[in-house]
């Protein structure tokens, strides 16, 4: 059985060379901390764009060359104004709908016996396009994941947002989605890249031919071709934008979302089985001759041989980062996860224990949103990731994949902060880790461990000069 494809997206990730704006950025970061605290959590309860009752106007409304469709960015405008060009030419979201017309989508639709072709089916349109509650005639689902799919239906803010005196905050008041706020952004991206109770790539859809979903907020944020620039002006208008914070909140929101699906009476089950995508794909999808089960150390993950493991890779990451940033919460979360894994094996009340994990994940998201992740913790976190791996924590593909993406985010940030030096050595180290993840079905935990051992000195040595 062929289960999943390798994380292509993550393959492209590498440490970047820092720009000269770094120092200004650091100073501003400090200055704006207060502002940031004010933002954190401000808009948590914001309605997602496709659930908003406001009317969607359509990409044409944003695309004029005087607005967001300029070929080159304009000097003197706080935003680049070439957003439409970047999106339509480079961003995969612009072609998300047209994918629904390809051979693979036709096969998925046929295998599922959908009454309509994929591009006319709501279950596909809901993620591969902006499918809003109300729309003006100029809006077309064929535009794919459009501006308003992320920034919210524009009817109430379109005129006001270019008026003198308009601020980001006033725009949000008029229905602009707060995509600059990490918690709100995580909910937005994950609504399509993980799914919600309303739209979800089930195991049936995957078995019909849909790729496995692989996502990590920070990695995907930097992979999306940027149509905005985080410069001094941006920081002043919108506050700090910190890679590790984005990673951390992404993990917390992903865990909470996974539990929502698990506990949803409609989504969490499919016939006599639970929804299989909530479990480790490779618990089932591996050759029987490959007898590889062994106890997994002290990570609260291990249940007995022959049981289907929950995909707890996000929980493993969240536990690790909380242990570094908020040890008491990390301990509580770790034991809640261990108890959930026990309950999955029949020891304890599943609903109760799953809710306990979700409550703590929500609390973690709120805390990280309010206070961020201190730069002092980053190296310790990267080392803990490596050392957990050396102790055998990443016995499954999903966990190793999350660990590699997390290391990418952390190492990038450490490099930007000047705490790790040689981009070339770091990039090679990250590429070596990813090479072990290229083919999920032939993933060898021992091989990944060996690469982690080689990687360790790169993060262990302060200000490494290699």
Residues 52-111 that bind ligand HEC (CB under 6 A): 62, 68, 78-79, 83-84, 87, 92-93, 95-96, 99-100, 104-105, 108-109
CB closer to ligand HEC, 188 vs 244: 188
In the complex, minimum distance from the CB of residue 328 to ligand HEC, in angstroms, rounded to a whole number: 31
d(CA 100, CA 121): 9
Backbone angles phi and psi of 212, in degrees to 5:
-60, 150
Interface residue with ligand HEC among 46, 82, 221, 412 (CB under 6 A) is 221
Which residues, numbered 224-263, are part of the site for ligand HEC (CB under 6 A)?
Answer: 224, 227-228, 234, 238
Indicate whether 223 belongs to the interface with ligand HEC (CB under 6 A).
Answer: yes
In the complex, minimum distance from the CB of residue 323 to ligand HEC, in angstroms, rounded to a whole number: 26
CB closer to ligand HEC, 125 vs 324: 125
Q: Which stretch binds ligand HEC (CB under 6 A): 184-192, 332-340, 344-352, 423-431?
A: 184-192
Indicate whether 318 belongs to the interface with ligand HEC (CB under 6 A).
Answer: no
CB closer to ligand HEC, 354 vs 356: 354
Interface residue with ligand HEC among 36, 43, 57, 123 (CB under 6 A) is 123
Indicate whether 128 belongs to the interface with ligand HEC (CB under 6 A).
Answer: yes
CB closer to ligand HEC, 324 vs 413: 413
Q: Which stretch binds ligand HEC (CB under 6 A): 152-160, 209-217, 260-268, 332-340?
A: 209-217
Indicate whether 158 belongs to the interface with ligand HEC (CB under 6 A).
Answer: no
In the complex, minimum distance from the CB of residue 202 to ligand HEC, in angstroms, rounded to a whole number: 8
Interface residue with ligand HEC among 26, 156, 169, 212 (CB under 6 A) is 212
* Three-class SS of the chain: CCCCCCCHHHHCCCCCCCCCCHHHHHHHHHHCHHHHHHHCCCCCCCCCHHHCCCEECCHHHHCCCCCCCCCCCCCCCCCCCCHHHHHHHHCHHHHCCHHHHCHHHHHHHHHCCCCCCHHHCHHHHHHHCCCCCEECCCCCHHHCCCHHHHHCCCCCCCCHHHCCCCCHHHHHHCCCCCCCCHHHHHHHHHHHHCCCCCCCCCHHHHHCCCCCCCCCHHHHHHHCCCCCCCCHHHHHHHCCCCHHHHHHHHHHHHHHHHHHHHHCCCCCEECCEECHHHECHHHHCCCCCCCCCCCCCCCCCCCCCCCCCECCHHHHHHHHHHHHHCHHHHHHHHHHHHHHHHHHCCCCCHHHHHHHHHHHHHHHHHHHHHHCCCHHHHHHHHHHHHHHHHCCCCCCHHHHHHHHHHHHHHHHHHHHCCCCCCHHHHHHHHHHHHHCCCCHHHCCHHHHHHHHHHHHHHHHCCCCCC
In the complex, minimum distance from the CB of residue 170 to ligand HEC, in angstroms, rounded to a whole number: 14
Interface residue with ligand HEC among 143, 158, 187, 200 (CB under 6 A) is 200
CB closer to ligand HEC, 147 vs 386: 147
Interface residue with ligand HEC among 283, 355, 425, 435 (CB under 6 A) is 283
In the complex, minimum distance from the CB of residue 421 to ligand HEC, in angstroms, rounded to a whole number: 28
Interface residue with ligand HEC among 64, 134, 138, 211 (CB under 6 A) is 211
Indicate whether 118 belongs to the interface with ligand HEC (CB under 6 A).
Answer: yes
Count the residues of the shown chain that bind ligand HEC, applying the rule CB under 6 A: 72
d(CA 321, CA 330): 8
Indicate whether 384 belongs to the interface with ligand HEC (CB under 6 A).
Answer: no
In the complex, minimum distance from the CB of residue 266 to ligand HEC, in angstroms, rounded to a whole number: 15
């Amino acid at each position: 059985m062929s289960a999943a494809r390798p994380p292509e997206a993550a393959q492209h990730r590498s440490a970047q060379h820092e720009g000269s704006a770094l120092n200004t950025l650091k100073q501003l970061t400090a200055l704006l901390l207060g502002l940031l605290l004010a933002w954190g959590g401000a808009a948590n309860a914001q309605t997602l764009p496709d659930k908003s009752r406001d009317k969607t106007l359509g990409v044409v409304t944003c695309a004029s060359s005087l607005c967001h469709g300029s070929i080159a960015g304009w000097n003197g405008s706080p935003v680049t104004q070439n957003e439409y060009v970047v999106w339509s030419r480079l961003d995969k979201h612009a072609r998300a709908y047209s994918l629904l017309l390809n051979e693979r989508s036709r096969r998925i639709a046929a295998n599922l016996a959908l009454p309509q072709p994929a591009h006319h089916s709501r279950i596909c349109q809901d993620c591969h396009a902006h499918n809003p509650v109300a729309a003006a005639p100029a809006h077309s689902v064929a535009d794919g994941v459009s501006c308003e799919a992320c920034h919210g239906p524009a009817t109430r803010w379109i005129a006001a947002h270019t008026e003198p005196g308009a601020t980001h905050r006033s725009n949000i008041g008029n229905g602009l989605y707060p995509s600059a706020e990490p918690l709100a952004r995580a909910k937005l991206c994950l609504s399509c890249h993980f799914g919600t109770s309303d739209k979800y790539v089930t195991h049936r859809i995957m078995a019909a031919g849909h790729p496995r979903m692989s996502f990590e907020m920070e990695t995907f944020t930097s992979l999306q071709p940027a149509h905005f620039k985080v410069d001094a002006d941006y920081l002043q208008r919108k506050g700090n934008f910190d890679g590790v914070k984005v990673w951390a909140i992404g993990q917390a929101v992903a865990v909470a979302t996974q539990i929502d699906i698990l506990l949803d009476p409609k989504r969490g089950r499919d016939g006599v089985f639970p929804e299989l995508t909530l479990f480790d794909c490779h618990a089932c999808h591996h050759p029987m001759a490959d007898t590889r089960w062994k106890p997994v150390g002290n990570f609260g993950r291990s249940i007995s041989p022959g049981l289907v493991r929950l995909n707890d890779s996000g929980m493993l990451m969240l536990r690790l980062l909380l242990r570094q940033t908020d040890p008491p919460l990390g301990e509580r979360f770790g034991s809640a996860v261990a108890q959930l894994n026990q309950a999955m094996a029949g020891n304890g009340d599943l609903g109760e224990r799953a809710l306990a994990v979700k409550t703590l994940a929500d609390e973690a998201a709120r805390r990280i949103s309010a206070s961020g992740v201190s730069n002092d913790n980053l190296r310790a976190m990267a080392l803990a990731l490596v050392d957990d791996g050396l102790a055998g924590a990443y016995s499954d593909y999903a966990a190793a994949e999350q660990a590699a993406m997390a290391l990418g985010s952390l190492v990038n940030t450490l490099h930007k902060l000047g705490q790790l030096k040689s981009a070339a050595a770091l990039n090679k180290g990250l590429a070596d880790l990813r090479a072990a993840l290229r083919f999920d079905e032939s993933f060898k935990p021992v091989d990944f461990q060996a690469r982690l051992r080689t990687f360790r000195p790169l993060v262990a040595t302060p200000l490494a000069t290699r």
